[in-house]
Amino acid sequence: MISNPYVKAFGLTTIFTALLFLACAVIAKIAPGWLYSYQWYLLLYFYLITLLSLFIIERTTRKNLEKLSKGFFSAMMLRLFVSIIIAVVIIYFDRANSTIFALNFLILYLVYLGFEIYYLISILQPRLNGERQIKEKK
């Protein structure tokens, strides 16, 4: 089992993105009109922003788990604002494909957000259980 949370976050996010990449490649072969023409850059963006979010959350909660909400909401707001800016710019400059872009962007946003929440629950659950056991012993 990997003990370094940064390595674990990087590895799991990379595997998750590779699976999404394969799914997009299959969709591109079966129904190419369903994907935005620059879908691969969207995957790269969400991969990097998810790594950054997980890094912020891990860095914030490393020594004090009570700062979880601060780290999570900081990362969530960063992701939200950067995503809005990117979406508005792309929709403005590529109006012809704005609908397919918006749908692909929204789907990827929600999928990566779900992955981030799942990852956080899985990595923080042992920490929360450990703190409960320490408090019960006192």
- Give the pLDDT confidence of 9-36 residue by residue, as tens digits: 888 999 999 999 999 999 999 998 899 9
Considering just the CA atoms, what is the radius of gyration of the chain in Å?
18
Q: What pLDDT is stored for residue 1 in this prediction?
A: 54
Give residue 138's pLDDT band: very low, low, confident or very high (50, 70, 90).
Answer: low
Residue 85: domain span: 5-137
Total domains in the chain come to: 1
Q: What angle do CA 63, 1, 125 make, to 5 degrees?
A: 45
Q: Are 120 and 9 in contact (CB under 8 A)?
A: no
Mean pLDDT of the chain: 87
Give the pLDDT band (50/70/90) at residue 42.
very high
Return d(Cα 63, Cα 131) in angstroms, integer.
12
Q: What does the alpha-carbon distance between residue 3 and residue 7 come to, in Å, rounded to a whole number? A: 8
Could you tell me the CA-to-CA distances from 122 to 9, 48, 50, 115 in Å, in that order? 11, 20, 16, 11
The C-alpha angle with vertex 44 and arms to 40 and 50, in degrees rounded to 5, equals 140
